[in-house]
């Protein structure tokens, strides 16, 4: 505030702002009230316009030097500030963007790799589990089919032995045939038990093999990376672009070169012609003020 006060008191003493405060509103009101119906009205309007131009010239000649001084001071202050601030800004960019940002970006990349590796390992575990279930079911189906086939064969042989016993003429023949039928049934019962044990062992082998492979997958999983933390600093994606082929860029992303178009209009005048653009003259009034 003290600096501002010193700047204000630095105004040259010959500046009489009260005169401008008194004269400017009156001139503006006269200009707004101008109505031209004839030469006399045109003359009055022209005199008011000249008076306004002279007043504006006085205002500019009074305040422009002060503004120029302030502008030069502002430029000098900016230059002095930049002499100290620019190296600090560059150092901040190096530490924040190159060092911290680079490290955090690398850590994020590693974290993403670990997440992807863990996901793939989990998917492989699921695949192994499903494959093990399929193999167990297939083994159960084969064992059940073998048990059914062997059982049917044993029943057929036993029934043949029963029939033979029924047809035997002597007691000894019936006894021998019946013993054969009973032996067939006993042996089939034993073999059925053995087949059940083998089937169970095969299922356990399949499950144990799958479990071992799952354990290998778990052991091969990478350890989670400790999250990098820089207090108050984080990284995010800031998307940018580069033009590869300007001819392929859609019109909605284009911008008209207004400066070039206006220069073309001034040069060509009535002959100016561009698709989608209407060229027209704008009336400009000039006035010489002595």
> How far apart are alpha carbons 199 and 205 in whole angstroms?
10
Q: Which of 3-7, 93-97, 103-107, 218-222 has the lowest mean pLDDT?
A: 3-7
**Can you tell me whether residue 3 is helix, strand or coil?**
helix
Q: Name the region of 88 (left: φ>0; alpha: ψ -120 to 50; beta: rest).
A: alpha
What's the pLDDT score for residue 51? 92
The token pair that represents 162 in the structure block:
């029963």
Mean pLDDT, residues 65-76 taken together: 92
More confident of the two residues 83 and 166: 83
> Is the model's pTM score more than 0.75?
no
Cβ neighbours of residue 131 closer than 8 Å, sequence gap 6 or more: 210
Cβ neighbours of residue 108 closer than 8 Å, sequence gap 6 or more: 235
**For all residues of the chain together, what is the average pLDDT?**
85
Mean pLDDT, residues 75-101 taken together: 93
Does residue 13 surpass a pLDDT of 70? Answer: no
| Secondary structure in 3-state letters for 148-205 | HHHHHHHHHHHHHHHHHHHHCCCHHHHHHHHHHHHHHHHHHHHHHHHHHHHHHHHHHH
**Ranges of each domain in the chain:** 11-220
Per-residue pLDDT tens over the stretch 149-159: 888 887 888 78
Helix, strand, coil: what percent of the chain each, to 5? Answer: 75, 0, 20
């Amino acid at each position: 505030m003290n600096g501002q006060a010193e700047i204000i008191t630095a105004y040259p003493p010959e500046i009489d702002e009260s005169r401008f405060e008194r004269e400017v509103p009156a001139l503006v009101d006269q200009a707004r009230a101008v109505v031209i119906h004839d030469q006399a009205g045109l003359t009055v309007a022209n005199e008011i316009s000249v008076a306004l131009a002279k007043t504006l010239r006085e205002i500019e000649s009074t305040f422009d030097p002060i503004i120029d001084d302030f502008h030069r001071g502002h430029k000098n202050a900016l230059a002095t500030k930049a002499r100290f601030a620019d190296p600090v800004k560059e150092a901040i960019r190096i530490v924040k963007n190159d060092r911290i940002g680079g490290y955090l970006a690398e850590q994020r990349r590693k974290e993403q790799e670990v997440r992807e590796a863990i996901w793939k390992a989990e998917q492989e575990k699921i695949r192994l589990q499903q494959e093990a279930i399929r193999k167990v079911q297939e083994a159960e189906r084969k064992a059940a089919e073998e048990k059914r086939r062997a059982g049917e064969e044993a029943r057929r042989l036993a029934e043949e032995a029963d029939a033979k016993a029924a047809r035997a003429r002597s007691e000894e023949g019936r006894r021998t045939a019946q013993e054969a039928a009973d032996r067939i049934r006993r042996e089939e019962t034993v073999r059925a038990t053995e087949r059940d044990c083998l089937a169970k062992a095969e299922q356990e082998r399949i499950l144990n093999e799958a479990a071992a492979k799952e354990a290998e997958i778990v052991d091969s999983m990478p350890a989670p990376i400790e999250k990098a933390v820089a207090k108050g600093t984080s990284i995010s994606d800031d998307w940018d672009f580069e033009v590869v082929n300007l001819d392929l860029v859609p019109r909605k992303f284009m911008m008209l070169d207004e400066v070039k178009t206006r220069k073309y209009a001034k040069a060509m005048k009535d002959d100016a012609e561009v698709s989608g653009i209407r060229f027209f003259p704008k009336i400009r009034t000039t006035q010489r003020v002595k």
